[in-house]
Structure 1
Amino acid sequence: MTIRCKVKSIESLTCNTYKILLHPETPVEFKAGQYLMVVMGDKDKRPFSIASSPCRNEGELELHIGAAEENSYATEVIEKMNEAQTKGDDVEIDAPHGDAWLKSGDRPILLIAGGTGFSYVRSIIDHCVSQNIKTPIYLYWGARSDGQLYAFNEMKALSEKFDNIHFVPVVESAPNIWNGKTGNVLSAVIADFESLEDFDIYIAGRFEMAGAAREQFSLQKNADRERIFGDAYSFI
């Protein structure tokens, strides 16, 4: 369904990552973990995970867009959003999309994000908190450096407030003082869990990361391939 939106705000989270709040003209019903498409043209719709929770979005839709200079696919969307906000124009979205939403049940949850794939798992974890879900939740967030973990303090505070939430940041290049893990985020998960047989696993990041996760977790940690969810699996 195509919906017109006002661009309420654009906030820089890092040097090339932006938080965008959209105010749709009609409420958008979606599930935690779904995404929307920004309409750039008749045959050009670009997908971005909805970072807000469906039960706490207050009529707004939050996006986290990584737009490095070499990534014209995303930078063009940021430029469109800036222009619309400046002129007071609307942007169009097509929503909701995606089958990798939060499933019901009492299985422990493993959330894995690479970079701005965090927006996908943020919607899920925020929904779990708002619904008072008590099952164990493990969030592994991988990035090149700690500066790219733009919601580090938010996730750390959640893990300190709720006993069932465990936040594990993983960076490829660590600063001198670092309390998280260093290296590859999938390797960190494999090292930390003896078995993933009982888990529902949600993953967002590059397609190659999602593909590697499904193979490694199922072969090495007995994960159920049918309980590994991610939008990437609709395309690879």
Structure 2
Amino acid sequence: MPYRLTIEPSGHEMDCDSDETILEAALRHGFNIPYSCRNGTCATCKGRILSGTVDYGDIEEKVLSEAEKMDGLALFCQAMPLSDLKIEVREIGAAKDIQIKTLPARVAKIEDVAPDVRALFLKIPSTERLQFLPGQYIDILLKDGGRRGFSLANTPNDDALLELHIKKVEGGTFTGHVFSAMKEKDIVRFEGPLGTFFVRQESTRPLLMVATGTGFAPLKGMLESLFAQGSIRPIHFYWGVRHSEDFYYEDLLQEWQSLHNHFNLTKIVSQPDSRWSGPTGYVTEQVIKDFPDASAFDAYICGHPDMVFSLSAALAQAGLDSEHIFADAFVFAKAKTS
């Protein structure tokens, strides 16, 4: 049976079926609330239940603790209604009119950009366009019914080829195929664009952008879009990897630095060798060291979940309100794979 779902503070009301999640109901009715992985792992969709009861599903303790559940918090991508509900969550208008499509695509080009990273370029049918916001992702649809999410690394105005950065994951079924068997002219199917990880254009605050590994992909799209728009918002971009050879697109990074005085780049290596002379350690520590007071920024964070969670918490401790922290945690195996 359907229940009544009310979103505050907007006051929007809609039906929510007993067998669908709060997120599914909101998206079905055209209302966008924060989300990313859609499988209860990244915590992007966390919000508050003001009244009513839900089934929280099988949620990992580290993502939603028992104390948070008792305090009325839920992961809206997992919570299903057991009664009429009133929830508190900020809605996102920018993605409202963007159509989610299921399309075929041809593999146009494959490039090895780092020892365990491939850039995959997909061409969609000439009769189609994929409207998206820089930073969103697509789900590759697998023949067994599974799906794997990858962030779009290109900009919407440069959509002749959709660019994905794919990291080889030990034991990964799809990434194993990409690195061992995929070839140019292969056909894949995908659904997208998805997610609410994109630059909030209405803000004029300086930007703190942080990535680990292939978390660089959506930030690349965001940065290129900002540069194309002529934005002069100060940008501090931090990129952390394990080994120095894991950095890629070095020529592009140098070009950004030479052309844009408001762009500041810091690269960090956690397991350096004698060839690396730059900052070492973990990117979270470097960011907080450089910005012990982070209250003035808009922060965009993407990469391994441990980094995303730890940096989000550290920035909050450094004075940055949660409404100015936007994150996309790359979740392995279930849905999103870096």
Same-fold call, TM > 0.5? yes
Contact 2:210 2:237 in 1 (8 A): yes
Q: For 1:29-68, what aligned pairs fall within 5 Å after superposition?
A: 29-41=131-143, 43-57=145-159, 59-68=160-169
Deviates more, 1:223-232 or 1:25-34: 223-232
Output the aligned Cα RMSD.
Answer: 2.0
Displacement of 1:222 in angstroms is 0.5
Question: Aligned to 1:96, which of 162, 169, 193?
Answer: 193
Q: Give the Cα–Cα distance (whole angstroms) in 2 for the partners of residues 197 and 70 of structure 1.
A: 41
Distance between the aligned counterparts of 2:199 and 2:252, measured in 1?
Answer: 21
Partner of 2:11: none
The answer to whether the 8 A contact 2:304-2:330 is kept is no
Structure 1 residues 129 and 12 mapped into 2: Cα distance closer, same or farther (>3 Å)? same
- Runs of 5+ in structure 1 lacking a partner? none
How big is the shift at 1:40? 0.9
How far residue 79 of structure 1 moved from its aligned partner, in angstroms, is: 4.8
Matching residue of 2:176: 75
In 2, the alpha carbon distance for the partners of 1:89 and 1:178 equals 38
Could you list the per-position Cα deviations for residues 60-97 of structure 1 after superposition, in whole angstroms to 9, with x for gaps in the alignment? 10011011444445223445642xx2xx4421111100
Matched residue of 1:187: which SS? helix
Aligned partners of 1:29, 1:179: CA distance in 2, in Å?
Answer: 41
- Which whole-Å deviations, capped at 9, do the CAs of 1:119-163 have from their partners, x for residues lacking one? 011111111111111000111000001100012332132112211
Aligned residue for 2:270, secondary structure, equals strand
Matched residue, 1:151: 249
Q: Is residue 55–residue 130 contact of structure 1 (8 Å, CA) maintained in 2?
A: no
Q: In the comparison of the two structures, how many residue pairs are matched?
A: 229
Q: Does 1:15 align with 2:141?
A: no
More displaced 10-residue stretch of structure 1: 43-52 or 193-202 = 193-202
* Matches of 2:156 and 2:251, distance apart in 1: 22
- SS of the residue aligned with 1:211? helix
Give 3-state SS (helix, strand or coil) of 2:251's partner. Answer: helix
Q: Which residue of 1 aligns with 2:313?
A: 215
Report the Cα distance in structure 2 between the residues aligned to 1:233 and 1:69, rounded to whole angstroms: 15
Shift of 1:178: 3.8
Whether the aligned pair in 2 keeps the contact of 1:142 and 1:184 (CA below 8 Å) is yes
Question: What 5-or-longer segments of structure 2 have no aligned partner?
Answer: 1-100
Distance 1:73 1:5 in 2: 16
Give 1:175 shift: 4.0
Cα distance change of structure 1 residues 233 and 146 upon mapping to structure 2, 3 Å threshold: closer
User: What's the TM-score once normalised by structure 1's chain length?
Assistant: 0.90
- Identity, in percent, stands at 28
Counterpart CA distance in 2 for 1:188 and 1:194 is 10
Query: Which secondary structure does the structure 2 equivalent of 1:166 belong to?
Result: strand
2:214 corresponds in structure 1 to 116
Would you say the 8 A contact 2:302–2:330 is kept in 1? no
Aligned residue identity for 1:93: F
Normalised by the length of structure 2, the TM-score is: 0.64
Which structure is richer in relative contact order (CA contacts within 8 A, separation 6 or more)?
A: 1
